[in-house]
Amino acid sequence: MPRTLPFLLPALAIGLWAPAAPAAESYDNCTGTIAALPAATSTQGTWCLKGDLGTDITTGAAITVATNNVTIDCNGFKLGGLAAGDGTEATGIHAPNRRNVTVRNCNIRGFFRGVHLTGEAGGGHQVEDNMFDGNTFAGIDVQGDGSVVQRNRVRDTGGSTQTPIASGIRVTGTIDVLGNSVAGVFASDSSDAHGILTIANAGGSINGNRVSMVLANPGTAYGIYNPFNGRMSMRDNDLSGPDTGIGVSCTSDAAILRDNTLLGFATGNDGCTNGGGNVFHAP
Amino acid sequence: MSRLSRIPRAGDARPRAVVLHACLVPALLLAHALPGPARAAQSDDSCTGFIDSIPASITKQGTWCLRQDLSGNLIHGEAIEILTNNVTIDCNHFKLGNLAAGAGTAAAGIDATDRVNITVRNCTVRGFHKGIALEGAGGGHLVEDNILDGNTSIGMSVLNDGSIVRRNRVLDTGGSSVFASVVGILTTGSVDILDNTVSGVVAPAGSNGSARGIRTWEAYDAAVSGNRVRGVQADGTGISFAVSNQESARVVLRDNDLSGDGTDVGISCHDDSGYALQNTINGFVEAVVGCAGHNNVVKLP
């Protein structure tokens, strides 16, 4: 192998340089580029990152979405806020009372909230295919019916000095949460930690998610917590607990829990209707 | 800037660059020094042409793209009319809007009649009587990854065998001042309906209109699987269905999450050759009507 490597290098370099075969992604459809922080978008369309961006702001938002029908496509680049420290109150991407906001392909780190799409007047949002790492209160915080949070990775959430509570994914309203991976949510000072927190979810689906390493001691660690829920559905989730806490909790038995794996929680199901097919394994 | 330069944190995995063989570094440096392929949102490389204004007609086969939001005020007709076969409309996540036309619109967003092999993807279609209408003879259509939001009677209507409707979100359908009944997704013929979200299908107040989240007509051997349907509300004497199969046979309905709040019917089939299995049917007066069933989870209101 070492003998052939020198001959391979030019070919490898050329291969890396040559334009890739036409594929799904390019900058062709970017309405504009976000090149510095903080930034605000007030024109509808797709706003792109073309490089890593960082900021040490401790309040406000790195990117504010100030109109409807906006896509933020980070193209895999980083939106970093770690320099602000654990006391930050800043948000990575914030859209107040907007409709049809999409955030995709972002790597968002070190904010109080990674993404915050908020307000009862909004909805129809889409948060997909992002990485959230080291955000101190919530990786994702989305409000508004008709929204979907899907295929995100959320890791190492918690550690805020502003609040002891931590949630990997937090949604308010009738929202689908599908195919996400939440690993590492840490509460402090006797508060609770939630892998996925849904508030007032009247009929959404929480399906196909993987939640692990949710820690709250002596607070309660929840795999999925559903306060004020309606007729929602939870199926095919794999939840791994810390030998304490609650796998899935509902305040109303209108929610149906079926075909989930709940391992290592002191209580597997707290208050949801057991629709069958669930695997519970207590510590 | 390369992602190799990101700030490390405690607990980070070891940066991938560190474990690369040293011999690869020159190649990587060379690659980063030269202009690399752009990567982001969505490429125009495959676009036959662009739709830059509406109404527009497509008469040439190929992929026709949007590169900006387009909005109109159409009471009749179509924003985009497809007049030949084998056409893809790729909106690149841009909006095709008609909210300005109001509740009286009878216009369609994207329309093809008597065509085959039409694809519609990555569109946000708002405020039409029908968001997408692929109707008449033909078939083999593909409607995927769209958002249909605030269309007044029908989110999408897709006709004929071999078509697929998948991964769409159909939100807040209803509100027409012209048409009483509302449907989120309407198909005719053997059309597979997979992994869609239908949220909010509401018949107009005072209309006595029926409401259906998903309605299949004359579907034989089709699949309706993995969909999420909720917020379906009829008005007055109208009837509400999450999923309604009429004049259909051998339809498989699997793994759908259906949420009602006193909605009339969860799933209805023309006869028991339709098979409902592993669905979650929550909050309907009648969970399953006419279908054979297995392993459904039912919770009555």
ipTM: 0.86
pLDDT < 50 stretches in chain A: 1-24
Mutate to test the interface with A, among B12, B42, B123, B125 (most CBs of A within 10 A): B42
| Residues of chain B contacting A256 with CB distance shorter than 8 Å | 280, 282, 297, 299
- Secondary structure class of B30 (helix, strand, coil): helix
Say which residues have a Cβ less than 8 Å from residue A120's Cβ, sequence separation at least 6.
A97, A143, A144, A173
B10 in a structural domain: no
Please report, for the domain that includes residue A159, its CATH number: 2.160.20.10
A7 in a structural domain: no
CA distance A20 to chain B (A): 6
| Contact assessment for residue B148 and residue B170, using Cβ atoms and an 8 Å cutoff | yes
d(C-alpha B165, C-alpha A52), whole Å: 37
| Helix axes B25-33 and A5-17, enclosed angle (nearest 10) | 20
B21 in a structural domain: no
Total domains, chain A:
1
- Could you tell me the pTM of the whole model? 0.87
Structural domain boundaries, residue A44: 40-281
A8 in a structural domain: no
> Least CB-CB distance to B124: which of A23, A27, A69?
A69
Query: Which pLDDT does position B31 carry in this prediction?
Result: 35
Residue contact B283–A231, C-beta within 8 A: yes
d(C-alpha A130, C-alpha B85), whole Å: 37
CA distance A246 to chain B (A): 23
B6 in a structural domain: no
Which residue type, as a one-letter code, is found at position B89? I
B26 in a structural domain: no
Residue of B nearest to A134 (CA): B9
Structural domain boundaries, residue B168: 42-299
d(C-alpha A67, C-alpha B259), whole Å: 31
Residue contact A231–B260, C-beta within 8 A: yes
B211 in a structural domain: yes
The DSSP code for B273 is T
DSSP string, B125-143: EES-SEEEEEEEEEE--EE
Residue contact A256–B297, C-beta within 8 A: yes
Residue contact A69–B95, C-beta within 8 A: yes
Kindly report each contact of residues A255-262 with a partner whose C-beta sits within 8 Å and lies 24 or more positions away, as own/partner. Answer: A255/A226, A255/A229, A255/A230, A255/A231, A256/A231, A256/A232, A256/B280, A256/B282, A256/B297, A256/B299, A258/A233, A258/A234, A258/B280, A258/B297, A259/A235, A260/A234, A260/A235, A260/A236, A261/A237, A262/A223
A219 in a structural domain: yes
- Secondary structure class of B22 (helix, strand, coil): helix
Total domains, chain B:
1
The closest of B191, B190, B135, B136 to B168, measured between CA atoms, is B191
Query: Which pLDDT does position B263 carry in this prediction?
Result: 87
The DSSP code for B28 is H
Print pLDDT tens along chain B (301 aa).
Answer: 232 222 233 333 333 332 333 333 333 333 333 333 344 556 788 899 999 999 999 999 999 999 999 999 999 999 999 999 999 999 999 999 999 999 999 999 999 999 999 999 999 999 999 999 999 999 999 999 999 999 999 999 999 999 999 999 999 999 999 999 999 999 999 999 999 999 999 999 999 999 999 999 999 889 999 999 999 999 999 999 999 999 888 999 999 999 998 889 999 999 999 999 999 999 999 999 999 999 999 999 9
Q: Does A24 touch chain B if contact means CB atoms closer than 8 Å?
A: yes
B12 in a structural domain: no
> ∠A65-A68-A70 over CA atoms, to 5°?
60
Give burial (CB, 10 Å; 0-12/13-18/19+) of B190.
buried
Element (H, E) at B58: strand B56-58
B188 in a structural domain: yes
| Contact assessment for residue B134 and residue B162, using Cβ atoms and an 8 Å cutoff | no
Element (H, E) at B257: strand B257-268
Residues within 8 A of B (CB atoms), A 125-144 only: 126, 133-134
Which residue type, as a one-letter code, is found at position B157? S
Residue of A nearest to B11 (CA): A156
SS3 of chain A: the string is CCCCHHHHHHHHHHHHHCCCCCCCCCCCCCCEECCCCCEEECCCEEEECCCCEECCCCCCEEEEECCCCEEEECCCCEEECHHHCCCCCCEEEEEECCECEEEECCEEECCCEEEEEECCCCECCEEECCEEECCCCEEEEEECCCCEEECCEEEEEECCCCCCCEEEEEEECCCEEECCEEEEEECCCCCCEEEEEEECCCCCEEECCEEEEEECCCCCEEEEEECCCCCCEEECCEEECCCCCEEEEECCCCCEEECCEEECCCEEEECCEEEECCEEECC
B157 in a structural domain: yes
d(C-alpha A206, C-alpha B280), whole Å: 12
Say which residues have a Cβ less than 8 Å from residue A130's Cβ, sequence separation at least 6.
A74, A103, A104, A105, A106, A107, A108, A114, A115, A140, A152, A153
Length of chain A: 283
- Token digits for A218? 């002596």
Say which residues have a Cβ less than 8 Å from residue B121's Cβ, sequence separation at least 6.
B88, B89, B90, B91, B142, B143, B144, B145, B146
Residue contact A48–B69, C-beta within 8 A: no
A91 in a structural domain: yes
